[in-house]
């Protein structure tokens, strides 16, 4: 196991609602990335946080936002949920700012979100 945990494991929401997903990084990791994986596709990068600041963002609208806390746990918030937001949401932690690049990422098991 990677030591990265996510909660909840499953979630059902209705269109228009807001959701918060949580991630606890592996000890000592100061970088966390969030991904969305739709069925049959590879993970899509949402954003990355390094030492509590967002330092990279993929092609996702502003209603996707995040926070990273001093203990390096993090949250993904999605406002005004749409049906297309139904997906598996993964977080991954790594040791450095270039975590998405040359460093190994350690993934959590994901949160499966269903929007009805």
Report yes or no: 90 and 34 within 8 Å, Cβ to Cβ: yes
The 46-85 contact track toward other proteins, x by CB under 8 A, reads --x------xxxx---------------------------
Question: Burial level of 58, CB count in 10 A (0-12/13-18/19+)?
Answer: middle
Pick from 78, 31, 80: nearest CA to 56: 31
Cβ(25)–Cβ(72) below 8 Å = yes
Site for other proteins in 85-104 (CB under 8 A): 90, 92, 97-104
Q: Is 22 in the site for other proteins (CB under 8 A)?
A: no
Nearer to other proteins, 81 or 110 (CB): 110
**Residues engaged in binding other proteins (CB under 8 A):** 1-2, 4, 33, 35, 40-45, 48, 55-58, 90, 92, 97-110
């Amino acid at each position: 196991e990677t030591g990265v945990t996510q909660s909840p494991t499953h979630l059902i929401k209705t269109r228009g609602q807001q959701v918060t997903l949580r991630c606890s990084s592996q000890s000592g990791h100061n970088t966390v990335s969030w991904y969305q994986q739709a069925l049959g596709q590879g993970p899509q990068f949402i954003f990355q946080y390094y030492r509590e600041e967002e330092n990279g963002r993929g092609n996702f609208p502003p209603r996707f936002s995040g926070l990273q806390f001093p203990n390096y746990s993090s949250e993904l918030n999605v406002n005004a949920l749409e049906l297309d937001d139904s997906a598996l949401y993964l977080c991954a932690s790594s040791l450095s700012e270039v975590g998405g690049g040359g460093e190994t990422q350690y993934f959590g098991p994901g949160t499966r979100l269903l929007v009805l």
